A and B are shown apart, each in its own frame.
Chain A
Amino acid sequence: MNSPQQQEPKGQPEVPTQIFAEFLSQLEKAETPMDVVERLRETILINQDLSDRAIRMALFPDEKSDD
């Protein structure tokens, strides 16, 4: 063994990525506000956070201040 122990690398699932990318593309085509699309892209594809809270924050970032 010439390598140190390393943590398990994380990969990206194939089918979900395909669906998420198509979803974001269709949102753009449906004239969803770009800032919403970008926040969803960051949350879903980059942060890979699919929790209710994260998605809600991506949709309504100013929710707390308003409500």
Chain B
Amino acid sequence: MIKAERLEIHEFRGIRSLTLNLEGNNFAVCGPNGTGKSGIVDALEFVLTGNISRLSGKGTGELSIKEHAPHVDSRNNPDKARVILTAFIPSLGKSITIERSVKTADAVKITPNDKDVLNVIAQVAMHPEFALSRRELIRYVLSAPGDRAKEVQTLLRLDQIEELRTALQKIANACRRHVTSLSTERNVARNQLIKALEIPDLTVKRIIESVNPKRTLLALAPIETLTPKTSLKDGLATVQSVRDRIQRIPKLLANNDVKHLRESLALLASEGTQLQCEMVKKQFLALKNEPAILNNVTREKFLKTGLGMIEAEACPLCDTQWQPDRLRELIASKLRHLEKVALKRAEMEKDLENLIVLLLETKQALLAVYSYGALAKPPLDTSRLKQHASELEIHKQRLESFLPIDESILSLDSITNIPAKVVEEIDAIAKVVESIPEPTKQDAARDYLVICQERLEAFQDVSRRLKQADARFALSQNVHDIYAEVSTSVLNGIYKKVQVEFAELYKFINREDEGGFDARLMPSIGKLGFDVNFYGRGHFPPGAYHSEGHQDGMGLCLYLALMKYLLGDEFTFAVLDDVLMSVDSGHRREVCKLLKDKFPNTQFILTTHDGIWLRHMKSAGVIKPGSSIQFRRWSVDQGPTEWQDRDVWAEIDSHAESNDILGASSILRNYLEYISAELCQRLRAPVEFRGDAQFQLGDLFPNVIGKFRRLLKEAKKAAQSWGQDDIFALIAAREKDFTERVKESKVEEWQINPAIHYNEWADFGKEDFRPVVFSQRELITSLRCEKCNGSFYVLPERGTAEALRCDCGLLNLNLVSK
């Protein structure tokens, strides 16, 4: 990971040109909504990853980086929209520069570009979660388990783990289905072989006992044993036999085949089969109006999402009023119903297996008898048998597919019907077969051996394929099971560590009221449950009882725990975009302490629209002096404007020069309010408490002046006590100068209060207003260092004041007397 040192942004999002000197420190960006804070977050994400989540995530529609990342006035010139980041890589001890233009967002200039540097930048790019908004933060906490698992998996880069699990599961399922299909095929081939051999069951002994008498009739050597290479017709003149087989109907076999076909059709049309069809049909009809069977996957996901979104006493979808517990129970019962439907389907598929086997057997028997039509003399039309075989194949496929239900029901209504034409054609073939003269014993034996060998080979072939399919299924299932075990075990280990770290972090910020807090991350396939302890009353989902502020804290702690696990010492950079807006004031200092104490090596870039939050961060030491920027307004032409002296006074002068005194005075007053609040904080000036924290200029500025005077007096007293006459004289001179500037500003002070004199501004000209600006500027300037331009501040920030100083140390006055 990196530490950001300098960020340059040009013509990007709402920013025209902005440079931030981050210097590897925590940095805060503060300003009202719509002043450009998010542009900085987007710029950091863009320069490091080439992406902007805000323009490419869910719900962004037709937004694109190329078209919408440049400033609106540079939309046709995306090369001007560029971000340059100077950063330091602690692990390599190297400074680097990264530059990316919107025009070529996929390409990046990295200097230097050696392998080690590129690897670090690649790692950063793979973790765009270094930038976290509140919208994303809350997803870790309030999501449904399935969605939370996805969020956490995305953060931990676990999507590949799920991808492989899904692939292995699909392959194992496909292998299992193949085994089932081949098993059915093998059973049919086995039955046909048994019928051809005219034996009750298929054993080597039976086969040999049945085959050898026929071979003896043909003067062939008996078969001693049966191996995969054994041919039952070994020694027969094969070519002649085949020719014979083609030219005439083998009477005995044909008789058997006709008999078998009639038996199969009788079984298919039997009362038992009809009852079975009726039973399954009823089950199908019961499911017909059950939407869950049709789109159970989508529906299950929808319900689970809804379950996780129940926060208030209303349906999250239609806002209908509900008691949350009752609504949760209703949705949970629907989910239980879905599970029942899935079980029911599995049972029905089991019931359908017998019917599917019967359809396959009958189809094969139809095709065998159909083939005799062409051999009859004259040939017989048996096309209806072939057509019926095709129809049975369609019924079989429909029942195997299960859905659509209407088609399965249609097949169940049809399969027991035997068309009269089919019966007629079977009778015709039977008559032809009957009329064939009885073959000699040798001919019958030859036919027997040829047909049995054919069917033995078919049986052996399907058995071989089944064996191979079995082996593949065993391998794929075993590989899947090992993967599932390993991934679950490793993930459990990760979640356990994260769970402990999360609870520690959360307890740190809530130690006063939730010292006994703990949490449970409960992974299962594709889901991640998350329950937290609520004041010792049990474990519940975070949204159940904890306040929104506590949930925000949980989201931050879970995120930090995951990042710490994921990156360890490499977790050196994170952007927290307004993530703690609802944390109550009582816990803000603790959050600041958490960031400072628990993540001392991580550079946080924090944005907030709340100036008080910024002051909390500063006073807690998370943000050092000079490591923040405060936006005051934004315009499409200029982008965000900071509260910087140079810009403010120039802007006021500009308005005044064009006689826009109203505009100039408005900026002056707003700036004085801002800088007064800043100085109150820095000088530790006491201010009358206001519950709404809405302080006006009159509430602050006099207190700044009074406090600074007292500080100078204390500094003089201290210098005197230590015998530092030269310092005493310098302070006295500063005190005199300050008093004169205050006096000057007082003369003009009344003019900057528009609440009193609003109507009079219209009568003022620039000559009237100029002295006002001058006096205020002089006063403000006297409260900051002439060298570093930083405002003076008191150290330490709490407790007994010890020193009044500036950032560069040019002013460093001791406040403690001897």
Contact with B along A1-30 (1 / 0, CB 8 A): 111111111110111101110110011001
Asked if A15 meets B472 with Cβ closer than 8 Å, knowing A8-B106, A23-B483, the reply is no
Contacts of A32 in B (CB 8 A): 475, 478-479, 482
Residue from A9, A51, A59 having most chain B Cβ neighbours under 10 A:
A9
Choice from B50, B123, B476 contacting A59 with Cβ under 8 Å:
B476
In contact, A55 and B108 (Cβ under 8 angstroms): no
Give residues 29-60 of A contacting B (CB, 8 Å): 30, 32, 36, 40, 44, 50-52, 55-56, 59-60
Contacts of B157 in A (CB 8 A): 13-16
In contact, B161 and A19 (Cβ under 8 angstroms): yes
Which one, B73-81, B110-118, B300-308, B452-460, is touching chain A?
B110-118
Residue from B106, B163, B475, B479 having most chain A Cβ neighbours under 10 A:
B479
In contact, A59 and B171 (Cβ under 8 angstroms): yes
In contact, B475 and A8 (Cβ under 8 angstroms): no
Which one, B484-492, B578-586, B621-629, B669-677, is touching chain A?
B484-492
Q: Does B253 contact A (CB under 8 A)?
A: no
Q: Does B403 contact A (CB under 8 A)?
A: no
Asked if A1 meets B109 with Cβ closer than 8 Å, knowing A11-B119, A52-B171, the reply is yes
Distance in angstroms from B482 CB to nearest chain A CB is 5
CA distance A59 to B112 in the complex (A): 43
Q: Does B92 contact A (CB under 8 A)?
A: no
Asked if A16 meets B108 with Cβ closer than 8 Å, knowing A8-B122, A55-B167, A56-B171, the reply is no
Q: Does B170 contact A (CB under 8 A)?
A: yes
CA distance A7 to B105 in the complex (A): 10
Interface size class of B (residues with CB under 8 A): 35 or more
Q: Does B156 contact A (CB under 8 A)?
A: yes
The main secondary structure of chain B at its interface with chain A is helix
User: How many A residues, CB 8 Å from partner?
Assistant: 35
In contact, B478 and A8 (Cβ under 8 angstroms): no
In contact, A1 and B482 (Cβ under 8 angstroms): no
In contact, B164 and A50 (Cβ under 8 angstroms): yes
In contact, B121 and A9 (Cβ under 8 angstroms): yes
In contact, B490 and A18 (Cβ under 8 angstroms): yes
Give residues 160-214 of B contacting A (CB, 8 Å): 160-161, 163-164, 167-168, 170-171
Residue from B50, B478, B486 having most chain A Cβ neighbours under 10 A:
B486
CA distance A18 to B497 in the complex (A): 16
Asked if A15 meets B475 with Cβ closer than 8 Å, knowing A3-B112, A8-B125, A55-B171, the reply is no
Distance in angstroms from B484 CB to nearest chain A CB is 10
Asked if A26 meets B158 with Cβ closer than 8 Å, knowing A5-B104, A11-B119, A20-B164, the reply is no
Contacts of A9 in B (CB 8 A): 118-119, 121-122
A30 to chain B: closest residue by CB: B482
In contact, B161 and A27 (Cβ under 8 angstroms): no
CA distance A18 to B235 in the complex (A): 62
Q: Does B380 contact A (CB under 8 A)?
A: no
In contact, B486 and A6 (Cβ under 8 angstroms): no
Contacts of A52 in B (CB 8 A): 167, 170-171
CA distance A3 to B288 in the complex (A): 66
Which positions in A face B, CB cutoff 8 Å? 1-11, 13-16, 18-20, 22-23, 26-27, 30, 32, 36, 40, 44, 50-52, 55-56, 59-60, 66
A-B contact pairs, 21 of them (CB 8 A): A1-B109, A7-B107, A8-B122, A9-B122, A11-B119, A13-B126, A13-B157, A14-B566, A16-B157, A16-B158, A16-B160, A16-B161, A22-B490, A23-B487, A30-B482, A52-B170, A55-B164, A55-B167, A55-B168, A56-B167, A59-B479
